[in-house]
Amino acid sequence: MERTDLKEKFMLDPAVHFLNHGSFGACPKEVLAAFHDWAERSERQPVLFYMRQFQDLMKTARAALARFVGTETDRLVYIPNATHGVNLIARSIPLSRGDEVLMTDHEYGACENVWALRCAETGAELRKAAVPVPYRSGGELRDRILESVGARTRVIFLSHISSPTALTFPVAEIARFARSRGIILAVDGAHAPGQLELDLDDLGADFYTGNCHKWMCAPKGSAFLAVAPEWVNRVEPNVISWGTGPNLENTIGNRLIDGNEWLGTQGPFPALSVPAAIDFLERNDWRAVRAGCRELLTRGLNEVNRLFGFEPVYPDERAYVQLGTAELPAHWRAAELNAYLYDRFAVEIPIIRWNGRNFVRISIQGYNQDEDIDALIAGLKSYGEMNAMK
């Protein structure tokens, strides 16, 4: 399928060069139509929908997602977003004084907050492994993490694909190591489902939270938490409802699902639309689409690197799929550049300040085209020239 045909399947404003799928995703028209259908169906007979059909509908939606990410229907639950997932994980792992939670210096700020507060509350210590970029191999990423593991490390918390830098961490290798040492591995897969082919059971993390509303193109508010079998009945819910406590209703004896699927009345429509999103990806041969995205992303990263003379962040193009970063001059003002690109070039793209350096984070989804990269390069060139004249 031509990229122009794919673009028409999305709602995106044609006047904008949308190179920031990574922040909130974008939902195709037909998937959004499924979302509206669910909402309308619920309004025709709300009691029938919520009291008699909800549980079965959710189970069907869980089954479709479980197949897609390679786990079992009853080891995964829908949640609103990955932030929610990280909160669930941090609440469920018993921590005490002297324990250490290890993460990298590439984690998403809100999720780092979750662990910082959980550590403050329990007396555990938060430790960060520095993982420098550019890097030369996946082995280097692994080594930087493993050499920071100590005798007190109880949890490793790791992004599958990092937010500020778009590094893909070797989760399977870290999982094998963690298991051999009795360390709990919790993965923030906010950007992974839809970009990476996942087989969560094979990956072997204790906890894995992922978003469907980013790279799977599902409606916003669709995400999941998947856990290893030994954690299914040890997940502490963020909200107490009918699935937890003395007044139980409609429970199935699975704490992960009982405690998280029904959290009081709210529209389950994003989750129920995930099968439509999976169907959309499959019908449009997303494996091929992703390969095309990687090609266009490679062109963008190479051109930015050539423009400003920085080394590529990645060892080669197998290190990313649809999300990638390239370095920019450190003295530039990120917020100013972001506004400049949008106001003058209609380019929507994040400029990320990380460890005192600047990076442009390029997202390429099926709807992006060469002209989006052309506009980005023109905008960066123009900003660079303006800065040189100052």
Ligand X SMILES: Cc1ncc(COP(=O)(O)O)c(C=O)c1O
* Nearer to ligand X (CB atom), residue 312 or residue 350: 350
* Least distance (Å) between residue 127 CB and ligand X: 19
The CA-CA-CA angle for residues 21, 355, 326, to 5°, reads 45
The residue from 100, 112, 188, 372 that contacts ligand X (CB under 6 A) is: 188
Q: Which is nearer to ligand X, 23 or 355 (CB)?
A: 23
Q: State the minimum distance, in angstroms, from the CB of residue 386 to ligand X.
A: 30
Q: Which of 12, 31, 76, 111 binds ligand X (CB under 6 A)?
A: 111
Taking contact as CB under 6 A, which single stretch among the options 3-11, 78-86, 247-255, 363-371 is the one that binds ligand X? 78-86
# chain residues binding ligand X, by CB under 6 A: 13
Check binding of 81 to ligand X (CB under 6 A): yes
Among 108, 115, 231, 262, binds ligand X (CB under 6 A): 108
Stretch that binds ligand X, among 185-193, 235-243, 339-347, 381-389 (CB under 6 A): 185-193
The answer to whether residues 105 and 129 touch, using CB atoms and an 8 Å cutoff, is yes
Residue number with CB closer to ligand X (78 or 383): 78
CA 204 to each of CA 30, 201, 345: distance values in angstroms, whole numbers, following the listed order:
34, 5, 44
Q: Binding to ligand X (CB under 6 A): which residues in 22-61?
A: 23
User: Hey, what amino acid is at 169?
Assistant: F
Q: How far is the CB of 361 from ligand X (least distance, A)?
A: 10
Candidate ranges 79-87, 140-148, 242-250, 377-385; the one touching ligand X (CB under 6 A): 79-87
Q: Contacts with ligand X in 218-257 (CB under 6 A)?
A: 223
> Contacts for 304-310 with beta carbons within 8 Å, 24 or more apart?
304/328, 304/360, 304/362, 304/376, 304/377, 304/380, 307/377, 307/380, 307/381, 307/384, 308/380, 308/384
- Could you tell me which of 365, 380, 373, 376 has the C-alpha nearest to residue 12? 365
322 binds ligand X (CB under 6 A): no
Burial code (b: 16+ CB inside 10 Å, e: under 16) for 189-218 equals bbbbbbbbebebbebbbbbbbbbbbbbbbb
Contacting range for ligand X; rule: CB under 6 A; set: 117-125, 168-176, 188-196, 229-237: 188-196
Phi and psi for 215 in degrees, rounded to 5? -85, -5
Residue 390 to residues 190, 258, 332, Cα–Cα distance (Å): 39, 60, 12
Q: Under a CB-based contact definition with an 8 Å cutoff, are residues 19 and 376 in contact?
A: yes
Residues 118-177 that bind ligand X (CB under 6 A): 159, 163
| 201 Cβ neighbours under 8 A, 6+ residues apart | 70, 71, 72
Residue (83 or 368) nearer to ligand X, CB = 83
Strand arrangement of the beta sheet that strand 125-129 belongs to:
76-79, 223-227, 207-211, 184-189, 153-159, 100-104, 125-129
- Closer to ligand X by Cβ: residue 55 or 113: 113
Report phi then psi at 54, rounded to 5.
Answer: -50, -55
Q: How far is the CB of 350 from ligand X (least distance, A)?
A: 10
Span of 36-44, 60-68, 184-192, 275-283 interacting with ligand X by CB under 6 A: 184-192
Q: Which CB sits closer to ligand X, 81 or 368?
A: 81
**Minimum distance from CB of 78 to ligand X (Å)?**
13
The residue ranges that bind ligand X (CB under 6 A) are 23, 81-83, 108, 111, 159, 163, 188, 190-191, 211, 223
